[in-house]
Each structure stands twice: as structure tokens, then as C-alpha cells.
């Protein structure tokens, strides 16, 4: 399946400390497709590029509604209209984040389980699903070829993605999967870089629409829908 893919993500507010940290580390602003120079922090430059390449392509974000193609009877305009109304009915909140390991990669994650984040993610999966085209047989097989439990497999067929609802883990990816030796190198560097950004609670004030214009192209933040007052 080709064509534009859409996703609903959390992205830190523009120019916030967490946004600047994420942009700087990954080497790309999420609202721009072009890369920036990576920080010089004493790492092998070629390996550093490899470590952030996939995360950079998606932009600094946390997934709420995973990437999807539009259903045949759906339109971008209607998707944006629904997203604007959905966001306006929610209230801003704050969460404390920390640097963490998740399945071998390093990410920014909530310091404690968050009912507010879980509610936001669950509602996004449910509320916007009518805009999602079913995955192609190849996409479905690619998902099911991963090591999944039975509930995750069922979610692939029901929602197009295995990591929703009880399987959801909010995270903002910073690296690819690293072995223990590389994690021991990258983690202290990231902890130092992220410390100012994680010193205060992070605001959730908007829902972001990201778009991928073609397979393999960067996901770009195209619209930010503010939460209500």
C-alpha cells in the first residue's frame, strides 16, 4: 500500500526544553523533513547516525494513534476537523518524565504510570479508527511476524497495531535497540543531555498530526490541535 500515512502523536510544545533536547539529539525538527547536524558528544559519528536514523525519520514523538492510511471514504479535512474537536474537549495536564530503557532501546518515558496518558492514548485509538484503512496483507504479515503474545496478535487484526490499550507503553524513542555494552555508553550521555529538559514536569497541551508523504519519507508534524482551557 502506497500513499500518505497519518499518525496522531504527542510532541512536546514548540521550543520547550524537551522539544529542544529531542530535536538536538535526533538531528531533526519534527515540523521539517530536512536533517540537522547531530551533537558532537564524543561518539563515533557513523555509528551515532545509525543509532538515531529510524527515530529521526519518525520525528521526536510518542505514538497515540499509530500510523495509518486513510480509509476510502475518509478525507484529511475530516480527520483534521475531528482532531480539532477531540483536542478542544480535553484538558491540559503535566507529567514527570525520565530516561529509561524499553526492550533494548533508550527512550523518554513517564516516571510513574499515568492514567491521564493512558486515557488519551486509548481514546485516540478508539476515536480515530474509522479513518484507518485496513492494513494490506503484507503489512499484516509484517506485524504478525514479530514476537507477539496472543492479545497483541488480536490487536493487529482489530486495530492494525499490536501495542494498544493494555499493551501500550508511552515512549519517545531516542535510539535503536542497543546491546548492553552500547547502552552503557549512550545512557550516561543522554542522561546528561536530557537532565535540564526532564527537571520539570512536561506539559500535554495539544494533539499533533504527523504525515508521511511516501514510504520511507520522514514523518512531519503538519498540524497541532490545542487542548481546551
Q: What is the pLDDT of residues 9-27, one digit of tens each?
A: 999 998 899 999 999 999 9
- Whether 30 and 221 have beta carbons less than 8 Å apart is answered as yes
Whole-prediction pTM: 0.94
In angstroms, the CA 117 to CA 113 distance is: 8
- Whether 200 and 62 have beta carbons less than 8 Å apart is answered as no
Query: Which regions of the chain does DSSP assign to beta strands (E)?
Result: 5-10, 62-68, 93-95, 97-102, 105-110, 172-173, 202-204, 206-212, 220-226
- The pLDDT of residue 224 is 98
Average pLDDT over residues 140-167: 92
- Whether 207 and 225 have beta carbons less than 8 Å apart is answered as yes
In angstroms, the CA 219 to CA 121 distance is: 19
> Is the dihedral angle over the CA atoms 61, 218, 211, 28 positive or is it negative?
positive
**Per-domain boundaries in the chain:** 5-226
- The pLDDT of residue 220 is 98
- The pLDDT of residue 139 is 87
Name residue 95's beta-bridge partners. Answer: 202
The Cβ of residue 225 has, within 10 Å, a number of other Cβ atoms equal to 18
**Using 50, 70 and 90 to split pLDDT, how confident is the model at 54?**
very high
CATH number of 5-226: 3.90.1140.10
Report whether pLDDT(2) > 70.
no
Amino acid at each position: 500500500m502506497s500513499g500518505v500515512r497519518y499518525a496522531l502523536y504527542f510532541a512536546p510544545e514548540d521550543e520547550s526544553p524537551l522539544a529542544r533536547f529531542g530535536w538536538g539529539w535526533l538531528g531533526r525538527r519534527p515540523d521539517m523533513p530536512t536533517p540537522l547536524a547531530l551533537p558532537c558528544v564524543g561518539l563515533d559519528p557513523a555509528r551515532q547516525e545509525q543509532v538515531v536514523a529510524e527515530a529521526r525519520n519518525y520525528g521526536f514523538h510518542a505514538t497515540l494513534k499509530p500510523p495509518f492510511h486513510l480509509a476510502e471514504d475518509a478525507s484529511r479535512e475530516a480527520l483534521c476537523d475531528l482532531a480539532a474537536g477531540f483536542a478542544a474537549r480535553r484538558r491540559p495536564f503535566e507529567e514527570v518524565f525520565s530516561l529509561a530503557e524499553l526492550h533494548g532501546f533508550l527512550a523518554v518515558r513517564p516516571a510513574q504510570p499515568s492514567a491521564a496518558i493512558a486515557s488519551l492514548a486509548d481514546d485516540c485509538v478508539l476515536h480515530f479508527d474509522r479513518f484507518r484503512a485496513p492494513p494490506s496483507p503484507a503489512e499484516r504479515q509484517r506485524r504478525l511476524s514479530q514476537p507477539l503474545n496472543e492479545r497483541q496478535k488480536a490487536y493487529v487484526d482489530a486495530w492494525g497495531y499490536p501495542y494498544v490499550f493494555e499493551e501500550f507503553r508511552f515512549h519517545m524513542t531516542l535510539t535503536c535497540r542497543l546491546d548492553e555494552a552500547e547502552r552503557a555508553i549512550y545512557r550516561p550521555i543522554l542522561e546528561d543531555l536530557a537532565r535540564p529538559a526532564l527537571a520539570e514536569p512536561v506539559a500535554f497541551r495539544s494533539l499533533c498530526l504527523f504525515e508521511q508523504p511516501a514510504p520511507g519519507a520522514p514523518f512531519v508534524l503538519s498540524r497541532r490541535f490545542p487542548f481546551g482551557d
